[in-house]
Structure 1
């Protein structure tokens, strides 16, 4: 298992080393725009970990505890998706041309695009919650849910498993002999 982990970690470490080499080529010799890049490289994760992720988690937990069970999972997924969209849109919302130009990207205002995308996410949340069926948890006295099993209703009597042979409910003389007991010969 440890060998597999090492082999899985090697490509990640190689990509990290290649990224460090590319950043060193870009950043050296130091110039004013390198400090802005360092601010984004260091400030982005700090902003995410200190502000966006906690707010997303708190909002998801508060909403999910106050909502019915069928709404909990879709609402948590919607809050996480909204947080990710906010992180992705932040450079464009912060200042115009906050990212390197891409064909078609700077032709429009990013605010309505973000608003429409967030609206589509929350429309999907509402539709999912309205069409979702919540399955009750399986208890020890409920039969397994299969295609052949009829639905369990509150007035359905509990299903009890059949008794094993040799239990005290069997009449005397019907209990099997324990293994290793010599068979009795006929007539004795």
Structure 2
């Protein structure tokens, strides 16, 4: 297990070292814009870990306790995705051209793009619990629907398994089909 962890950590440490090398190449000789970059490098994780992540966690816990069961997972998921999208969109919303230019990135309106993406996320989050009411879930007791299956009618006998059902009095280790435990041989 320790070997696997070390092998997983090596690429991350290598990427971290490469990032330090690139920042040192960028930062020296010192210029005024280097200090702004350093504030972003240090302030971004501090803002995320100190403000955004705790607020998202508290909001998720509160929503999980307040909302009814079918709404919990979709709404909490939508909340977390909203937090991530806001973090990603922040540089573009904070100032124009807040990121290095990439083809096609600055051609659109970042606020409109964020609004449309959030609308799509919340549409899916709110339609998911409603879909459970419209499309009933299948049960394990129902036979599979195939062309060869006989039609289910009211007077048809219930479908049972070969093994007798277990009762609450059976201990957990009791097999559903107990083996033949006769001690006398047949025919004696």
How does the TM-score come out when normalised to structure 2?
0.71
Larger Rg: 1
1:119-130 equivalences in 2 (<5 Å): 119-130=119-130
Deviation of 1:176 after TM superposition, in Å, equals: 5.4
In 2 relative to 1, CA 65–163 (structure 1 residues): closer, same or farther, beyond 3 Å? closer
Name the CA distance, whole Å, in 1 between partners of 2:170 and 2:110. Answer: 69
Matched positions, count: 155
Look up the match of 2:176. none
Look up the match of 1:98. 98
Look up the match of 1:74. 74
Name the CA distance, whole Å, in 1 between partners of 2:99 and 2:67. Answer: 38
Look up the match of 1:86. 86
Unaligned runs of 5+ in 1: 134-144, 152-158, 165-174, 178-182
Name the CA distance, whole Å, in 1 between partners of 2:22 and 2:28. Answer: 10
Look up the match of 2:35. 35
Look up the match of 2:17. 17
Bigger shift: 41-50 or 96-105? 96-105
Name the CA distance, whole Å, in 2 between partners of 1:33 and 1:123. Answer: 41
* 1:26 maps onto 2:26 in alignment: yes
Deviation of 1:112 after TM superposition, in Å, equals: 1.4
SS at match of 1:106: coil
1:147-166 equivalences in 2 (<5 Å): 147=140, 149-150=141-142, 159-161=165-167
SS at match of 2:11: helix
SS at match of 1:96: coil
Unaligned runs of 5+ in 2: 144-164, 172-180
The Cα RMSD (Å) is 3.1
Q: Cα deviations across residues 89-138 of structure 1 (Å, max 9, x unaligned)? A: 101111111111122222232111111111110001011121237xxxxx
* 1:55 maps onto 2:55 in alignment: yes
Name the CA distance, whole Å, in 1 between partners of 2:84 and 2:132. Answer: 24
Bigger shift: 17-26 or 74-83? 17-26
Look up the match of 2:116. 116
